């Protein structure tokens, strides 16, 4: 049970007790006394649901107020004022105004219908139990708090947008710096190595292993840098990747020569967007590592929808040892999973190959 529910329950019990005490301390009508007490208590207890169902609570407290007025209890409609405040605070201003107008007319009519024959006395008594100033104060308090909460939400959104914009600017700045400082040098190294290998082979000479290593390292560095720059320059206007894009990842891995299989189990309920993006990145990084470093022939991707969790497992039959050090990709993977409150297990498999398993919570709480 949340703290808000506890607070609402305490307030409802307090209002119900206050109304009951007011009814017991005032004149006790002979007829319908028990029914009047029921209306007094029910009107107060209805406030326990004022956050979850403000319109229903507004109607319930109004009916209870008219009920104990008709039973002969001259008790102010305190519970109804709380309901007006709750309705206005949640944005139901029109409903609160309409209900209040009906109450201003309904209380004296109820008193007349219950046996009070003097219209002037009925209006005087209705003014005592429901004053217009009380209604205005309750509505004004609800509206003031609603506006304050809205301003706070807008300020929070503005801070988040500012932080996101600064992060985007910093990301683009880093991309420009990387491009200006590294791209040219790596390109020169790669081109020079390619030319040296080509000339050596053209002259029929043996190509030194060191030169081949430099050429291959230059190619790999160029690919890595290009991928990094693309990630840094990624535009938010592009649709975010999620679970629906995982089959395309597996299909591309198969087209590249890896025998990759995808298995999806469990009830495919909607998962939060952040969880879907993280799952996509885990599969993407795992397949990329397999293609680059594992020398694997097969890979299996398993996505299991479990109650309250999404489990992703990627296995391969490549080369892996206990001493295999975690790379940048695995570190980034762990950071993503930890940020969502999940768990990540990586390491060599007993039967050979490498395994990546992540468990991501999908409970909205």
Question: C-alpha distances in angstroms, 33 versus 67, 68, 72?
Answer: 11, 9, 8
249-273 mean pLDDT: 84
pLDDT of residue 263: 92
pLDDT of residue 312: 94
Assess contact for 347 and 354: CB atoms under 8 A: yes
Backbone phi, psi, residue 304, to 5°: -120, 115
Confidence of residue 314 (pLDDT cuts 50, 70, 90): very high
Listed range (116-125, 126-135, 186-195, 265-274) with the worst mean pLDDT: 116-125
pLDDT of residue 125: 66
Tokens found for residue 9: 């329950």
Listed range (147-151, 184-188, 269-273) with the worst mean pLDDT: 184-188
Q: Does the model's pTM come out above 0.75?
A: no
For residue 4, pLDDT beyond 70: yes
Neighbours of 22 (CB within 10 A): 15
């Amino acid at each position: 049970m949340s703290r808000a529910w506890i607070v609402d329950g305490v307030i409802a019990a307090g209002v119900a007790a206050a109304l009951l005490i007011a009814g017991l301390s005032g004149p006790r009508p002979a007829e319908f006394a028990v029914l009047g007490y029921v209306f007094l208590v029910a009107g107060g207890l209805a406030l326990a649901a004022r956050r979850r169902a403000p319109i229903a609570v507004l109607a319930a407290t109004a009916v209870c107020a008219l009920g104990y007025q008709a039973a002969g209890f001259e008790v102010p409609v305190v519970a109804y004022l709380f309901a007006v405040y709750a309705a206005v605070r949640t944005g139901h201003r029109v409903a609160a105004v309409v209900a209040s107008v009906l109450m201003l007319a309904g209380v004296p009519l109820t008193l007349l219908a219950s046996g009070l024959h003097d219209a002037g006395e009925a209006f005087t008594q209705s003014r005592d139990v429901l004053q217009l100033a009380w209604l205005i104060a309750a509505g004004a308090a609800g509206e003031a708090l609603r506006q304050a909460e809205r301003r706070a939400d807008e300020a929070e959104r503005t801070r988040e947008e500012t932080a996101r914009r600064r992060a985007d600017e910093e990301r683009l700045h880093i991309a420009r710096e990387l491009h200006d400082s590294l791209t040219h040098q790596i390109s020169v190294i790669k081109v020079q190595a390619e030319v040296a290998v080509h000339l050596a082979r053209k002259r029929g000479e043996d190509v030194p292993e060191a030169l081949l290593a430099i050429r291959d390292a230059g190619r790999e560095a160029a690919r890595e840098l290009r991928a990094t720059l693309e990630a840094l320059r990624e535009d938010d206007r592009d649709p975010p990747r999620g679970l629906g894009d995982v089959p395309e990842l597996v299909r591309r891995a198969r087209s590249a020569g890896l025998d990759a299989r995808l298995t999806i189990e469990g009830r495919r309920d909607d998962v939060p967007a952040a969880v879907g993006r993280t799952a996509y990145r885990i599969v993407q990084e795992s397949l990329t590592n397999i293609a680059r470093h594992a020398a694997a022939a097969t890979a299996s991707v398993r996505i299991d929808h479990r109650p309250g969790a999404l489990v992703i497992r990627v296995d391969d039959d490549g080369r892996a040892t206990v001493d295999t050090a975690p790379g940048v990709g695995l570190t980034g993977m762990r950071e993503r999973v930890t940020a969502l409150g999940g768990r990540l297990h990586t390491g060599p498999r007993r039967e050979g190959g490498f395994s990546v398993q992540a468990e991501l919570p999908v409970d909205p709480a």
